[in-house]
Amino acid sequence: MTAATTDGRPRDAELTARLLQITRDAIEAEGFASLRIEKIAREAGCSKNAIYRRWGSKEELTAAALLDGIDLGSVPDTGSTVEDLLDHAWHHLHGFARAGRNPGLFNAMVDPGVTPLIAQHYMRPRHALGLEILQRAIARGELPADTDTDLILDTIAGLTLFRVSVKPEHHADGIVAHRRSHRAIITALLATPPRRTAATASDRH
């Protein structure tokens, strides 16, 4: 979401990184509603135009700040669909742990103007990676061809988001316990996978 110069080189990467950090700090301290481009520019020592050349709106700047440092990851291939989905979920959990632990960042992430940008640049590509795991399992005959893959991935993502944002105290249980709870849900979903019906198929078109 960062603009580039006409010859393809990014504009002042150091300033870009500083703007993203200042934006995150401002949202953490004061919330998304109080975020002002003028204030960000003043603190970074640049013009408002320098920000708008990179991001066209406050929402785009916020989405970029939330996603800064979070990579999409890759498709795990452990030989086990359960473990592949667990690793997939774990990458997502760690990516958004920062936002989940701070109310200001979390509220910014679910703002109606920011959420579609997060979905476009992160959630949908991540969903595609998870879908590849399940399609591989279907091809191996481990899951029925009519498995509702979207519902499985959404259920796992929902658990991850809930544990990160609503019940972050689960982090205190430790990594082993945290992964155990995810593994239990994933195992149960794959043991009796939800199936697509004519109604669910039509809902997606």
pLDDT of 124: 95
pTM score? 0.81
Q: Which stretches of the chain score pLDDT less than 50? A: 2-10, 172, 205
The verdict on 170 and 95 lying in the same domain is: yes
CA separation for the pair 163, 170 (Å, rounded): 7
Q: DSSP string of 106-136?
A: HHHHTSTTTHHHHIIIIIHHHHHHHHHHHHH
pLDDT of 9: 42
pLDDT of 201: 53
The verdict on 63 and 146 lying in the same domain is: no
pLDDT of 7: 40
Per DSSP, the three-state class of 204 is coil
pLDDT of 143: 97
In a domain, 190, yes or no: yes
The verdict on 101 and 30 lying in the same domain is: no
Q: Region of 70 please: left (phi>0), alpha (psi -120 to 50) or beta.
A: beta
Helical H segments across 10-168, by residue range = 13-30, 37-44, 48-52, 58-67, 81-101, 103-109, 115-118, 124-139, 149-161
The verdict on 166 and 104 lying in the same domain is: yes
CA separation for the pair 2, 199 (Å, rounded): 40
- Where in the sequence is the domain holding 28, given as residue range(s)? 13-67
In a domain, 165, yes or no: yes
In a domain, 205, yes or no: no
Domains in the chain: how many in total?
Answer: 2
Nearest Cα neighbor of 33 from 116, 101, 110 is 110
pLDDT (tens digit per residue) in 151-190: 999 999 888 887 766 665 555 455 677 788 899 999 999 9
In a domain, 1, yes or no: no
